[in-house]
Structure formats: structure tokens, C-alpha cells
Amino acid sequence: MNEILIELYVPALGKSYDIFIPTAAKVFEIAGLVTTAVEKLADGLFLSSGAVLCGREDGRPLDVNATPAELKLRNGSQLLLI
């Protein structure tokens, strides 16, 4: 499985995380994976149900049925978790 390294900014925490995500998984699957990772890293300060991944540059939600490859995300892409 191919992966890319993204920078994930979580405004609720004011923190960024570098996270590897699979390029073949759908965005809705990735949102669940990164939400779980952030909840663990934040020691209970971040609890989310229905988190949304957005592009950091424009703030637009990513298509949940697309893959990172289809969205042309690459190493270093910056996303928001809201």
C-alpha cells in the first residue's frame, strides 16, 4: 500500500501533526483513521464524531468518496481536521 506524508492541522488544538495516509483509501476512511490518531495524541483534549478533512489552503471539505490519489494530494499536502 502506498502512503503519503501530510501535515494535518487541528484548529481545536492549535497543533499540527505529520501523518502518513494511504493513497488508495477513501477520504471517509482516512478521516476515521486520523481522528482516532489525533484523539490518542491529544490525551483526551480532542474528541470528535463526524470529523471532516478539508484543504488547509482554501478550507473546502474533501470529497469523502475520493482517494488522495484522485484528489492529487502528495507528500507535504496540508489538511485541516475540523
- pLDDT tens per residue across span 15-73: 999 999 999 999 999 999 999 889 888 887 887 777 899 999 999 999 999 999 999 99
pLDDT of res. 1: 55
Q: What is the dihedral of CA 57, 62, 68, 69, to 10 degrees?
A: -90
CA dist 4 and 43 (Å) reads 25
pLDDT of res. 53: 96
pLDDT of res. 64: 96
What is the value of pTM for the model shown? 0.90
pLDDT of res. 67: 97
Looking at residue 61, what DSSP letter applies? B
For strands 53-55 and 3-10, give the pairing: unpaired
The domain limits of the chain are 3-81
The CATH class that applies to domain 3-81 reads alpha beta
CA dist 38 and 72 (Å) reads 23
